[in-house]
A and B are shown apart, each in its own frame.
Chain A
Amino acid sequence: MTQPAVEARGLSKRFRRSGGSPERDGRRWRAPWRRERRPDLIALHPLDLRLERGGITGVIGPNGSGKSTLVRILATLVLPDAGRAAVFGHDVVGESLRVRRHINRVSVEAAFFKELSAWENLVYAARIYGTDDRGLRGRVEDVLGRFGLPADTVDRPVRHLSRGQQQKVAIARSVLTTPSLLLMDEPTTGLDPRSKREVQQMVDGLRRESVTTLLCTHDMEEAEALCDRVLLMDRGRVLADGTPAQLGRLQNLFFELSGRDIEDADSEAELEEAAC
């Protein structure tokens, strides 16, 4: 039987939160290193999930809905508190090295050594993914060319590239390591409309590479346009799961199921984060 790309059972995660330094309590002095203890943040309520191979699955929700925690658990960057998750049959905790051979991740902030050139960053990525740089230059120029980036982009320090260009190089980097599961954590957030459209085209083009893609976004229109299946999340729970056609307008559905606008939910999450 073919293993699914992702299978999770009862997967949950909560994070400890410390408050800021305590305010002076009247005239009583309190040590500055003492921190107010706040209730834990439940990032993920017990979650069951099965993703078949191929296609683009969207995980949609406002900030703090549990999207990034789910991606980080699958990327072996966060350990779950309970439950189990497997990538192509390999447990993300017990067989993390095997899992990492199958995955790559593009995050909201393109993670590069900014003073190094795109080429130096790409060679570094190729090496730590266990390959050498033989033939890499040609493949890099080919991939960047397909993404509309001029060939000389590769020799410029990453800090000289625009955010859109950096994100394209990040996607090129992830493709060059030939992942079977690509985890994309808000790859278009903060991009200008043109770069956003181009990155979306790149994501759409991944279908041809037979890559299973998990795309986290809080852009409902992006999810409706790109995804074959959508998980709508809020406060660590899956509110709805289906194809975009089955779910209809995601914006309206989110409001129906959560009782709030996604923009309001984002603002609440930002205030919550600022208070931590």
Chain B
Amino acid sequence: MLSVPLRADAHAFVGFVERQKNLIRRYWLWEAVWLVYSLVSVLSIGYLAAGLGSAGGAAPGRLDLHRAQLYLLIGALLWAYLSIVFMEISFSVMWERWEGTIEYTFMAPVRRLTHLLGVCAFAIGYGLVRTLVVLAISVPLFHLDLSRADAVSALVVLVVSTFPLVGLGVLASVLPLLSPERGEQMTVAMQGILLLASGVYYPVTVLPGPVQAMAWASPMTYTLDGIRGALIEGRGLAAVAPDLLALVLMGVVLLPLGLLTFGWAERRAKRLGLLKRSG
């Protein structure tokens, strides 16, 4: 049996997950649009890879088209997942501002950790479901060679990557608390920088020096590297250990940092009177 405070936390956790689910259901048309958009993006990347040989004029044997296609498709699919999780978490404060419910939620007798865990749990679940739909539709359209893939390694990298990703999302969700006027724009800009710097469609070594520095600081870089290594080259757990270690270390830093920063930003917003809808 759960104690009373734990039971209250459990109810609140379910409340946040259920609220997010209800919002998705009510805005189903938008969700359908985003799903189609994700699917089209992944398919475009897949066909771009398929056409590389003729469009790029590469001599036979110079470019492994199947490998390039797999490389790009994994990037596109992972970005579809990672960006949904990142957006769902980082937009949680923003949504409450749009709806005008932020004060109501922040006034409820619920620990912020429970609040954020509820939002993150939904984000991960929803991100997985949407990505699996895209995966199920897109992969049969391409003749992908996954005979060497180590699915267990890929899955472990994906699970471990969740922790730093959640930390990063919580850090981004702080921005609308810091600046009601410009926080939303900054969150979207941050997502764009992650796309550029994390090597979604190319190895990060092709990036200029300063952007490469950002790449090594992004957990998505290690997620992509580890999963690509596992699925394309069949790297086992030992071989993806450096990526796993980097992700664990980043999780250890980013998760508490995100929570501490959120707490600090909430206190700042309360000190400056920024929680109000109008800001």
CB of A75 within 8 Å of the partner chain: yes
What number of A-B contacts does a CB cutoff of 8 Å give? 97
Asked if B109 contacts A77 (CB within 8 A), the reply is no
Asked if A107 contacts B109 (CB within 8 A), the reply is no
Contact flags (1/0) for A193-217 with B, using CB distance below 8 Å?
0000000000000000000000000
Given A15-B273, A127-B14, A130-B7: A107 and B105 interface contact (C-beta under 8 Å): no
Docked complex Cα distance between A127 and B15 (Å): 5
CB of B111 within 8 Å of the partner chain: yes
- Chain B residues contacting A109 (CB-CB under 8 Å) are 100, 277
- Chain B residues contacting A112 (CB-CB under 8 Å) are 99-101
Give the Cβ gap from B29 to chain A, nearest Cβ, in Å.
11
Asked if A127 contacts B23 (CB within 8 A), the reply is no
Docked complex Cα distance between A28 and B270 (Å): 37
CB of B44 within 8 Å of the partner chain: no
**Interface size class of chain B, counting residues whose CB lies under 8 Å from the partner chain:** 20 to 34
Asked if B26 contacts A116 (CB within 8 A), the reply is yes
Given A79-B267, A130-B11: A124 and B19 interface contact (C-beta under 8 Å): yes
Docked complex Cα distance between A112 and B105 (Å): 10
Across the interface, name the chain B residue whose C-beta is closest to A109: B100
Given A100-B109, A107-B103, A112-B101: A132 and B11 interface contact (C-beta under 8 Å): yes
CB of A103 within 8 Å of the partner chain: yes
CB of B18 within 8 Å of the partner chain: yes
Contact flags (1/0) for A126-148 with B, using CB distance below 8 Å?
11111110000000000000000
CB of A115 within 8 Å of the partner chain: yes
Beyond known contacts A111-B101, A128-B109: 5 more, CB 8 A cutoff: A15-B273, A72-B103, A72-B273, A77-B107, A131-B8
A-B pairs with beta carbons under 8 Å apart, 20 shown: A16-B272, A69-B273, A77-B107, A77-B270, A101-B109, A111-B103, A112-B101, A113-B101, A115-B27, A116-B22, A126-B15, A127-B12, A127-B15, A127-B18, A128-B11, A128-B109, A130-B7, A130-B8, A130-B9, A130-B110
